[in-house]
Amino acid sequence: MTEFDKPLKPTATPIPGLVMWDLPVRGDRRGWFKENWQREKMSSAGLPDFGPVQNNVSFNRSKGTTRGIHAEPWDKLVSVAAGRVFGAWVDLREGATFGAVFTAELDPSTAVFVPRGVGNAFQTLEPDTVYSYLVNDHWSPDAQYTFLNLADETVNIAWPIPLGQAELSSKDMAHPRLNEVRRIPAKKTLVIGADGQLGRALQAEYANDASVEFADRSALDLTRADLDGARNWRDYETIVNAAAYTAVDAAMTSAGRTRAWAVNVAGVSRLAAIAAANDITMIHVSSDYVFDGAAAVPYTEEDSVSPLGVYGQTKAAGDAVAATVPKHYIVRTSWVIGDGKNFVRTMANLAERGVAPRVVDDQVGRLTFAKELARGIRHLAETRPPYGIYNLTGSGEPMSWADIARQVYALTGHDPARVTPVSTAEYFEGMEEPIAPRPRWSVLDLTRIESSGFQPKDHLTQLAEYLSVAHGSSASTASVAR
């Protein structure tokens, strides 16, 4: 007998993510009405906003019809439209709860949210039973399922109607036992731009994690027209976009401008649409170049953008697009130093060669080492603080590029006085190639990322560590010239 007028209420089960729901059913002697799924009400009550795209209906004429145990590659909300059903669910995902079992009876006043990878089975307790599946991927006969035998002795489900008396298909009778089941892996993380400084640091950070995939430009170009068909995107939980057009001066040319907008805006737009459509968390890496550098205090995540050049304009536009993804982290950083050609390596090499360089002293910021940036991105992906923008750089005393150059000279055992400070205007004077305007102040406030539980390391400490590895220096921060 369907119970009327229950309040909308979720109830957790021993299987993570599997949640029973009481549904308010309005009825009288004429029949009943219910809101089978109501996005706003149920999301507010805790149902994942799982993005359903298809509704399927199953009709079972006979009492005792038994189906399962099937684990589909999508999430679903299952509810009964007519009759009663005994449901059994078994966790077939990799992890500590593999093999966990939960059973319950469903009628029109109850529903169950079944996450991807949890096997489900149903046995009708009345004739002419109808139940529906609201799913977040389109049904296909080619979909890859995982199965478990209904009679598996390990899970030992207490079927109300013994299986010997129930109506089963020959396929369901032949499914494997639990010890033969292919465990369903967790959804994957995809790092795009894996061949850049940050991409290589992310490869090192996730070196022992088989659930993380890496794609360089040859494997996945954001400008390709068929990006939405390049992967089975439902297999991914997180996308880290470390790809960008970063040639700030070349972006001032006609060809560079076109390329910068294609990668940093149009490509990000395609990726954002994919993430939104497939309930993927998007982690997008941004830049201090979204600001004009006219501030005198560290930039916060709430400060309005005001980019000076084409590169900064495309990054600001890309940020706005990335922010449309319901689950997004925009990571703003500055002065990235990693594997490959960069300012620190250049200064160290000049020091070794006895060169006395001219270095600008009117641009101020903090170094961000790619290794530290990768660590921070992993922190966001795993701890899931509130979505939004997070500044992430090294911590410590802001410095000019000339100051940093002096640190490099001192740490590598050379005279820091050989570094000659000059203004940006003096440095670029007489150059014929287009020069992008640089923000003079690139210091980002780190309060929000610190409040999430991540403590960025001092950028000078990291500089000493970086040079020690790259150049065999034994210097420590205690010997750094101030």
Q: Which DSSP string corresponds to 149-165?
A: -TT-TTT----SS-TTT
The predicted pLDDT at position 157 comes to: 96
Average pLDDT score, the chain:
93
The mean pLDDT of 436-447, rounded to a whole number, is 97
Q: Which DSSP string corresponds to 217-268?
A: TTT--TT-TTGGGSS-GGGEEEEEE------TTGGGSHHHHHHHHIIIIIIH
Using DSSP, state whether 15 is helix, strand or coil: coil
Give CA–CA dist 245/251, Å, rounded.
8
The mean pLDDT of 39-51, rounded to a whole number, is 90
The predicted pLDDT at position 477 comes to: 35
Give CA–CA dist 81/212, Å, rounded.
41
* 141-195 pLDDT tens trace: 777 789 999 999 999 999 999 999 999 999 999 999 999 998 998 889 999 999 9
Burial class (CB in 10 A: 0-12, 13-18, 19+), 271: buried
Residue 299: which residues within 8 A CB-CB, separation 6 or more? 288, 291, 391, 441, 443, 444, 445
* 278-316 pLDDT tens trace: 889 999 999 999 999 999 999 999 999 999 999 999 999
Its pTM surpasses 0.95: no
The predicted pLDDT at position 469 comes to: 81
Crossing angle of helices 459-471 and 343-352, rounded to 10°: 50
Residue 322: pLDDT band with limits 50, 70, 90: very high
Instruction: Name the helix (H) or strand (E) containing 10.
Output: strand 9-12
CA distances from 58 to 18, 111, 129, 133 (A): 21, 15, 8, 8
The predicted pLDDT at position 281 comes to: 97
Contact (CB, 8 A) for 205 and 371: yes
Give CA–CA dist 27/407, Å, rounded.
77
Contact (CB, 8 A) for 481 and 333: no
Using DSSP, state whether 17 is helix, strand or coil: coil
Give CA–CA dist 376/113, Å, rounded.
32
Q: Which DSSP string corresponds to 377-396?
A: HHHHHHH--SSEEEE---BS
User: Which residue in 146, 153, 99, 151 sits closest to 123, CA to CA?
Assistant: 151
The predicted pLDDT at position 471 comes to: 64
Instruction: Name the helix (H) or strand (E) containing 459.
Output: helix 459-471
The predicted pLDDT at position 92 comes to: 96
CA distances from 296 to 94, 254, 305, 321 (A): 51, 33, 15, 28
- Torsion sign, CA atoms 449, 455, 458, 462: negative
Domains of the chain and any CATH numbers: 9-180 (2.60.120.10), 188-479 (3.40.50.720)
Q: How far apart are the first and last CA of the chain?
A: 79
Give CA–CA dist 221/241, Å, rounded.
11
The predicted pLDDT at position 472 comes to: 59
Cis peptide before 69 (omega within 30 of 0): yes
Pairing of strands 188-192, 9-12: unpaired
Is 70 an annotated catalytic residue? yes
Active-site residue among 131, 133, 236, 427?
Answer: 133
